[in-house]
Amino acid sequence: MSATEIDEGTSSELPESEPEAQDAAREPAPRVESTAAAGRRGAMWLPLVAFALLLLSLFGPIAKSGIWDPFELRVAELSRRIALTLLGASGLAIEGSTNSVPTLGELARGQLPFTSIALGFKLFGLHEWAGRLPLAIWGTLGALSTYALVARLADRVAGAFAVLALATMPLYFLHSRTMLGDIVTMSSLAMAVAGLGLASFDAEASRPRRVAWLLVGLVGLAAGLGARGVLLGVVPPALGVGLGWAILRARSGARADRLSDLAGGLALALGVVALVMGFKVLGRASANPAQFSLLLGAAVKPPKMLPTYDAVVHYLGHGLFPWSALVPFAVGRLLTPPHGVEPSRVAPETALRVVSVIVAAVAFGAHGLTAPTVGQLPFAGVCMLAVIAALALRDFDRGAPGSRALAMGVAALAILLYYDFKNFPEKGLSAFVVDDPRFPDSFKESAHRLLKISTLVLLAGFAGSTMESTDRSARRFDREEYLAWPRALKTLWAGNLWFGFLVAEAALVGYAVLTWLSKSYFHWKQFDQAGPLARQLATWGYLGLPVLVLVLPAAGLLGRDVLRELFVRLPLSRATVAAFAVAASGAVLSFGYFPKLATQISPKEVFDAYRQHAKSGEALGIVGVGAGAATYYAGRNVPTFENANAAFNWLTEADERRWLVVRSGDLPQLNSLHRGLPGAPGNVPVLDARSSEILLLSNRLAAGEKNENPFAAWVLDQPPNPAVRLDANLGGQLDVLGWEVTDLSGRPVDGVVPQKQYQFRTYYKVVASISGNWETFIHIDGFQRRFNGDHQTLENKYAFHLWRVGDHIVDIYPFSLEPNFTPGDYEVFFGLFIGSRRLEVKRGRHNDNRLEAGRLRVK
């Protein structure tokens, strides 16, 4: 039996005794066939657009983003050594650096990714884009393989949807354009599944073509083995295709063609053998963690905490966003038969559905199996997740009914992931799958804005497209339909519902009036002590209720009718618009979010600033940043220091001007050392602080240059003049000079309004060395209320032991009072504490070591 007959039993067979039913069932068949045929023969513009977006996403940013130190830099250095010693690129030798052949233990994974990067260095020189170019080509090969698989077993439209997904899945496009190397594994898996799958299930293809695809599949398996070993590089594609073939073969219960049996049986055999070998290698690796094995494909590196069962799902949720909001629901769609396809195409598409789900599941299991031994690695089966999403969208495109549950489910999951990104910005680095990455503080605001745009694009485009199917006969802008709800509201339950609405509205209006009178004139206790929710209800409730009951239903109908009219006139299907909406959401991340993030975590901009500011011959040093980065951006090897003390001594020992590239973690100590120099030089000069992670320092400022030291707002070069002056001392170590409340621009205010943002500034002068991790408390007391402003002093970024005697320090704390703070004068107390112990007030009025600081007026 041929592969096209595998799913023959799924075709509906109507009883012969019901000819009318048979005629009715056959009547729409020509429309369905034309839709399916159009997907296979036409719509060439869609694949072209998909591949254009893919090329832009994979190749566009490779020269713009700098090398990520240390993660990319380590891989690049090992690849440079391979190019130098094994590929004959003698021009890549760096004086003072290691130039020998790296050992397998140093590589700590398969050699193929390193060799690919090394080839780029050999051909084009030591540039970041030269190392990334081969990986972008690998990513393109993976997408081409995925398209070929889906286009042959389903149709071109579904293939284009899969390419759109890959082009905008962060886990895929990031590894295609960064020198981390795991795109080789992902693409190898796609090649293996495409080759083995088409050899096994594409019965319409000629025998030579299927044999060629079988060879492609074997090459993909070999590449996967050379990239990540047997468990991640071989088992998922081979065992996934083999199990899919076995299931469909057993289900058909008939004879298939020999080539299908050969390819499917070979895949199954290779998968089983690789699985057995993988178990053995994993067991030996646990017993001998120091011995690296290419069959394992990763160094033995057990995580500090064993990963939970959902660890892979967790990082996939963030690493595949926005497609991760769709994929879980798409899996459910694939458990149903293909919708709207020709009978002859049911079998191959069913095979594609089965194989894509099984390969993804096997890859998921393989990652879960290896994680306790080697840690989390980038998910190898990304291409199969793209196929799953594409087939679900294609089903909708071919006439599967729209689903409000799907639209709302995807929207809910997208919103959940958005708030996860908002509350935990470091989740934005999940797609890289590296150990302990640091998210730059300077990027958090921009990251939040771009993620919000991405999420809104997804919600508007996808939900609006998939709520229902296009029906030209559906009612649109029907006046009677718009009036039906108000009429029903008045008559339901004998008019009692309408009466209840009027009573509730009158009560809310009365509540709003009483609240206004209390706030403006009478200050009634019951109203002044109301919580935030009650105050919001008083402010907006009388407006919100009619909007909720009368306006929103009409607005919902209007939005629905606008979309109905739009899709009747639009020459694009709802599924195509939905696919482009998710892709556009991902494109915001590909072309906006991640390029901006890359500028923050790479030293490239710092070296650009050095070239801009430094004169010829001025020395450059590095501390905390990989020395290899200087080779790419400074054009030479530069002095590297192990710690901040050694770097500072080098920076300040010479009379001529010198420069230093530092990580943010070393800046506090360098700043303290600089302030300790004789002559009160102030904060260490920082010439480039665009990134909060990597900065450019110098030993002096030239005329016209500005010190961009981020600590300048806290560690003052001049004595302050606070609005409220105090004469107090804490612990005999800190003189309290005073305090003030300012707006967000730093201008002092004479009072505050609840729910408005302000800054509380506390000014100190250091009179003796101070140590300990003291936190600051601020109490604003009065009218039986207290605002508690406990916080880490100077955001815990400039430790107390770095404060120099004579330094003037200002601690800035953003705050806003709750809405139940009534107008009046409140007492202000503050001080320092560790745990339950407060730093003793040595001078000044205090209450239990709470310094009595004065009054704050609330308006």
CATH number at residue 794: 2.70.50.60
Domain boundary among 377, 400, 423: 400
CA distance 700 to 689: 16
Q: Does 306 share its domain with 390?
A: yes
Q: For residue 747, what are the domain limits?
A: 715-858
CA distance 21 to 205: 36
Whether cis (ω within 30° of 0) applies to the bond prior to 19 is: no
Q: pTM (2 decimals)? A: 0.85
Residue 626: per-residue pLDDT = 64
Helix (H, G, I), strand (E, B), or coil: what is residue 686? strand
Domain boundary among 525, 554, 569: 569
Residue 442 has pLDDT above 90, yes or no: no
Tokens of 432: 């890289």
pLDDT, greater one: 290 or 748: 748
CA distance 737 to 293: 64
Q: Does 700 share its domain with 725?
A: no
Q: How far is CA 171 from CA 168, 528, 732, in A?
A: 9, 52, 55
Q: Does 347 share its domain with 370?
A: yes
Q: Does 273 share its domain with 302?
A: yes
Determine, yes or no, domain membership for 109: yes
Residue 660 bridge partners (DSSP): 621, 697
CA distance 129 to 67: 9
Determine, yes or no, domain membership for 407: no
CA distance 698 to 707: 10
Determine the residue type at 554. A
Backbone Cα Rg of the chain: 33
Q: Does 204 share its domain with 190?
A: yes
Whether cis (ω within 30° of 0) applies to the bond prior to 134 is: no
**Dihedral pair phi/psi, residue 543, rounded to 5°:** -90, -35
Average pLDDT, the chain: 89
Band of the pLDDT at 27, cuts 50, 70, 90?
Answer: very low
Q: Buried b vs exposed e over 428-458: b needs ≥16 C-beta within 10 Å?
A: bbbbbbbeeeebbbbbbeebeebbebbbebb
Each residue of 282-305: pLDDT tens digit?
988 878 887 888 899 998 888 877
Residue 381 has pLDDT above 90, yes or no: yes
What average pLDDT does this structure show over 269-288?
A: 92
Residue 180: per-residue pLDDT = 94
Residue 539 has pLDDT above 90, yes or no: no
Q: Does 553 share its domain with 654?
A: no
Q: Does 695 share its domain with 549?
A: no
Q: Does 535 share its domain with 619?
A: no
Residue 262's contacts (CB-CB under 8 Å, 6 or more residues apart) are: 214
What average pLDDT does this structure show over 340-369?
A: 94
Instruction: Tell me how many helices (H) and strands (E) the chain has.
Output: 31, 18
Q: Does 13 share its domain with 159?
A: yes
CA distance 388 to 578: 15
Residue 443's contacts (CB-CB under 8 Å, 6 or more residues apart) are: 425, 596, 597, 600, 692
Q: Does 391 share its domain with 520?
A: no
Domain boundary among 712, 744, 760: 712
Determine, yes or no, domain membership for 688: yes
Determine, yes or no, domain membership for 16: yes
Closest CA to 218 of 162, 267, 175: 267
Residue 784: per-residue pLDDT = 81
Determine, yes or no, domain membership for 171: yes
- Cα-to-chain-centroid distance, residue 282: 31
Beta-sheet strands, E only, within 600-674? 619-623, 640-641, 658-663
Closest CA to 741 of 632, 820, 830: 830
Determine, yes or no, domain membership for 644: yes
Residue 17: per-residue pLDDT = 40
Closest CA to 637 of 99, 180, 89: 99
Residue 6 has pLDDT above 80, yes or no: no
Residue 253: per-residue pLDDT = 64
DSSP assignment of 518-561 equals: IIIII--HHHHT--HHHHHHHHHHHHHHHIIIIIHHHHHHHHHH
Residue 814: per-residue pLDDT = 95
Q: What domain count does the chain have?
A: 4
Residue 635: per-residue pLDDT = 61
For helices 343-374 and 128-153, give the axis angle rounded to 10 degrees. 140
Residue 118: per-residue pLDDT = 97
Q: Does 799 share its domain with 783?
A: yes
Determine, yes or no, domain membership for 554: yes
Band of the pLDDT at 42, cuts 50, 70, 90?
Answer: very low
Residue 561: per-residue pLDDT = 87
Residue 742 bridge partners (DSSP): 748, 759
Q: Does 653 share its domain with 778?
A: no
Determine, yes or no, domain membership for 409: no
Each residue of 597-640: pLDDT tens digit?
998 888 888 888 998 888 888 899 988 776 667 767 766 668 88
CA distance 458 to 415: 10
CA distance 734 to 782: 27
Residue 821's contacts (CB-CB under 8 Å, 6 or more residues apart) are: 754, 783, 785, 787, 858
Band of the pLDDT at 28, cuts 50, 70, 90?
Answer: very low
CA distance 825 to 781: 9
